[in-house]
Structure 1
Amino acid sequence: MRERLDAVRAAGFEAAEFWWPFPTATPGDAEVEAFVDAVRASGLALAGLNLFAGDLPAGERGVVSWPGREDELLASVRVAAYIGAELGCRNFNALYGNRLPGHDPAEQDAVAHRNLSVAAAELPGTVLIEPVSGIDAYPLHTAAQAVAVADRVGAPDVGLLLDVYHLSVNGDDVAAAIERFRGRIAHVQLADAPGRGAPGTGTLPLRAWVDDLVDGGYDGWMALEHVSDDADPFAWRTEGSWR
Structure 2
Amino acid sequence: MGFSDARFDVNLSILFTELPLLERPAAAAAAGFTAVELWWPWPEAPVPEPRQLDALRAALQAAGTRLVGLNFYAGQLPGPDRGALSLPGEESARFRANVEVAADFAQSLGCTALNALYGNRLDGADPDAQDALALENLALAARAAHRIGATLLIEALNAPESPRCPITSAPKAIEVVEAVNAATGLDNARFLMDLYHLARNGEDLEQVIDRYTPLTGHVQIADSPGRGAPGTGTLPLEALLERLHHNGYRGWTGLEYQPGERPGAKAFGWLPRPLRAAAPTTPATP
Please indicate the TM-score interval, normalised by the length of the shorter structure: over 0.9
Q: Distance in 1 between matches of 2:120 and 2:114?
A: 19
Q: Deviations over 1:61-103 (max 9, x none)?
A: 1111111133211221111111111100011110000001101
3-state SS in 1 of match to 2:162: coil
Letter in 2 for 1:65: S
- Paired residue for 2:155, among 130, 139, 159? 130
Equivalent residue of 1:236, what SS? coil
Tell me the secondary structure at the aligned position of residue 181 of structure 1: helix
TM-score by length of 1: 0.95
Residues 1-243 of structure 1: matches in 2 within 5 Å?
1-22=21-42, 23-68=44-89, 69-123=91-145, 124=148, 125-133=150-158, 134-154=161-181, 155-228=186-259, 229-231=261-263, 232-238=266-272
CA contact (8 A) 2:23 2:59 kept: no
Q: Distance in 2 between matches of 1:210 and 1:17?
A: 19
Return the letter of the residue paired with 1:180. R
The structural deviation recorded for 1:226 is: 0.7
Gaps of 5+ in 1: none
Kindly provide the CA deviation profile for residues 109-136 of structure 1, in whole angstroms up to 9, marking residues without a partner as x.
0001000101111122111111112110
How much has 1:2 moved relative to structure 2?
A: 3.0
Q: Percent identity?
A: 44
The answer to whether the 8 A contact 1:64-1:97 is kept is yes
Amino acid of the structure 1 residue aligned with 2:179: R
- Kept in 1: contact 2:76–2:82 (CA 8 A): yes
Higher relative contact order (CA 8 A, sep 6+): 2
Deviations 1:174-218 (A, max 9, x none): 111111111110000010011111011110011111001112221
Query: Superposition RMSD on alpha carbons, in Å?
Result: 1.3
- In structure 1, how many angstroms separate the alpha carbons of the residues matched to 2:71 and 2:144? 15
Q: C-alpha deviations, 1:151-183, integer Å up to 9, x for none?
A: 111241111000000000011111111111111
How many residues are treated as equivalent by the alignment? 239
Structure 1 stretches of 4+ with a deviation exceeding 2 A read 55-58
Deviation of 1:58 after TM superposition, in Å, equals 4.2
| Structure 1 SS opposite 2:60 | helix
Output the TM-score relative to the length of structure 2.
Answer: 0.81
Q: Is the 8 A contact 1:2 1:42 kept in 2?
A: no
With over 3 angstroms needed to count, the CA separation of the structure-2 counterparts of 1:58 and 1:203, relative to structure 1, is closer
Residue identity in the other structure for 2:30: A
C-alpha separation between the residues in 2 aligned to 1:74 and 1:89?
A: 20
Distance 1:227 1:215 in 2: 28
157-166 or 28-37, which moves further after superposition?
28-37
Give me the whole-angstrom Cα distance separating, in 1, the residues matched to 2:93 and 2:110: 25
> What is the letter of the counterpart of residue 128 of structure 2?
A
In 2, Cα distance between equivalents of 1:136 and 1:58: 13
Contact 2:209 2:247 survives alignment (8 Å): no
d(CA) in 1 for partners of 2:216, 2:163: 24
Matched residues in 2 for 1:36 and 1:2: separation? 9
